[in-house]
Structures are given as structure tokens and as C-alpha cells.
């Protein structure tokens, strides 16, 4: 069963990491709502996938990822997701080239006790 990052602390941490490397970005709360819904959907079914472009609203690009959370260390999971995005030309380009970003997160709890963090990011100019 997934839960949403209702206090948004993970999103703030991810935004801080992005801003440190890529300067000022504007956070779009409407896109963030869409991202949260998509991250929750991915967590619910346990699979990472891009959403249908018809539901992006004003967004022009999307990054999605998931990472296993080890010993409840969500910061390390976020750092690993950011590292993966930065090592992927397309994902990195989305972050670098778009000044406006929305982020959503959700966590899936597996029956074996594994926690998996799901992230959706959307971007626009």
C-alpha cells in the first residue's frame, strides 16, 4: 500500500539538490499535484512508467524513477534518483533546460517489508 509524501519534506530536499546544481527553478504546485497523483499510481501498482502526455497539462517533459529505500534512508534514495537522472542525457536535459518544475513522491510498502520511493517530475518553460 503506498503513501504520499504529505508533508513534502522529500520534495523540498529534491528541489534543494536541483537548485544547488542548476540555479533557480520555479516550483509549480499545479504540476506537482499531477506528479503526486502519478507517483501514487506508480506506487500503487508497483511499476515505474511515464504518464499519458494528454494528462500533462502545461508540462512539456517528464522524468519518472523509483528506488529501493534501505534502512528507511529516504535521503540516500533521493540522492540515487538524482544521480541516475544526471547520468541520463534525456533526464538531465529536462532538468537543465526547463525553468519550471513540479515534483511528486509516493512510497510503496512491499509485503516483505521493502520500501520503494517513486518520483515523478514534470517540466515546462
pLDDT of 22 over the 90 cut: no
From the number of C-beta atoms within 10 Å of its C-beta (0-12, 13-18, 19+), residue 18 rates as buried
Regarding predicted confidence, which is higher, 5 or 28?
A: 28
Q: List beta partners, residue 120.
A: 64, 104
Mean residue pLDDT across the chain: 89
Q: Enter the pTM of the model.
A: 0.90
Whole-number pLDDT of residue 99: 95
CB 62 within 8 Å of CB 56: yes
CB 11 within 8 Å of CB 119: no
| Distance, first Cα to last Cα, the chain | 35
Residue 85, CA distances (Å) to 20, 35, 79, 104, 120 in order: 15, 16, 10, 15, 12
Whole-number pLDDT of residue 21: 87
Residue-wise pLDDT for 50-107, tens only, equals 988 766 777 789 999 999 999 989 999 999 999 999 999 999 999 999 999 999 999 9
Residue 114, CA distances (Å) to 6, 37, 108 in order: 20, 21, 8
Whole-number pLDDT of residue 107: 92
Amino acid at each position: 500500500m503506498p503513501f504520499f509524501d504529505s508533508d513534502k519534506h522529500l520534495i523540498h530536499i529534491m528541489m534543494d539538490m536541483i537548485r544547488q546544481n542548476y540555479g533557480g527553478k520555479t516550483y509549480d504546485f499545479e504540476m506537482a499535484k499531477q506528479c503526486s497523483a502519478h507517483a501514487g499510481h506508480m506506487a500503487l501498482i508497483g511499476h515505474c512508467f511515464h504518464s499519458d502526455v494528454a494528462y500533462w497539462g502545461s508540462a512539456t517533459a517528464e522524468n519518472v524513477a523509483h528506488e529501493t529505500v534501505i534502512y528507511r534512508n529516504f535521503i540516500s534514495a533521493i540522492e540515487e534518483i538524482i544521480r541516475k537522472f544526471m547520468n541520463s542525457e534525456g533526464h538531465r536535459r529536462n532538468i537543465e533546460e526547463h525553468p519550471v518544475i513540479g515534483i511528486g513522491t509516493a512510497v510503496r510498502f512491499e509485503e516483505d517489508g521493502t520500501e520503494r520511493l517513486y518520483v515523478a517530475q514534470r517540466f515546462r518553460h
